[in-house]
Amino acid sequence: MSTREPIKLGVLISGSGTNLQAIIDRIAEGTLNATIELVVSSRPSAYGLKRAEAAGIQTLTLSKEIYADPMTADEVIATELKMHGVEYVVMAGYMRMVHAPILATFPNRVINLHPALLPSFKGAHAIQDAFDYGVKVTGVTVHIADDKYDCGPIIAQQPLKVEEDWDVDTLEAHIHEIEHQLYPDTLQMIAEGRMHVADGKVSIDPAAED
């Protein structure tokens, strides 16, 4: 196991939290050298909050009233994340854009997951859009979030061949399988100190030999 200190994560969610669960599970099994210091949900009904509570992780839910002013909401979130000692912010099905208060507090340390091979099929309906377009290959992207939707330097991508007999639900299930593997793998690579950002691009050091 790494002699490095675990990286401290704050996870932003809006829904069921399956990627949050994948990260929790990998930490528990010792293959992700990280801790989750805080889970922030944009919805009080998000099932991901139950996942966090079951794992003993502190949670924060913001009301619709606070989100009425996105900048104020992000100031609250950034302050809470800092108070909890968070080093990297992990967006895991977070259906809101992050703004300057979070991006400036965690420069190049806000990580997002997107269910397509960026720069193709940006937006909230990427799986359906890729399916409707009839692509033969799609996949999953992990990237650094910036002030535009689904932009920012790409950290990792994994392609997926779309079989002819798949419907959109089958495609979605395969995309989620990749997400649950690729996201924790990418966070572990970050925990190992192998990610570097320069001139708007990410470079990755090779994995150390055991």
Q: Where in the sequence numbering do the catalytic residues fall?
A: 114
Q: What pairs with residue 141 in β-bridges?
A: 114, 157
Q: What pairs with residue 157 in β-bridges?
A: 141
**Dihedral of CA 181/183/187/190: which sign?**
positive
What amino acid occupies position 60? L
* Structure-block tokens of residue 156: 């990792």
DSSP letter for each residue of 53-82: HHTT--EEE--HHHHTSHHHHHHHHHHHHH
Q: What are phi and psi of 126, to 5 degrees?
A: -60, -40
How far, in Å, CA of 162 to CA of 139, rounded? 9
The 3-class SS string of 94-143 reads CCCCCCHHHHHHCCCCEEEEECCCCCCCCCCCHHHHHHHHCCCEEEEEEE
Helix (H/G/I), strand (E/B), else coil: 10 = strand
Asked if 146 contacts 103 with a C-beta cutoff of 8 angstroms, the reply is: yes
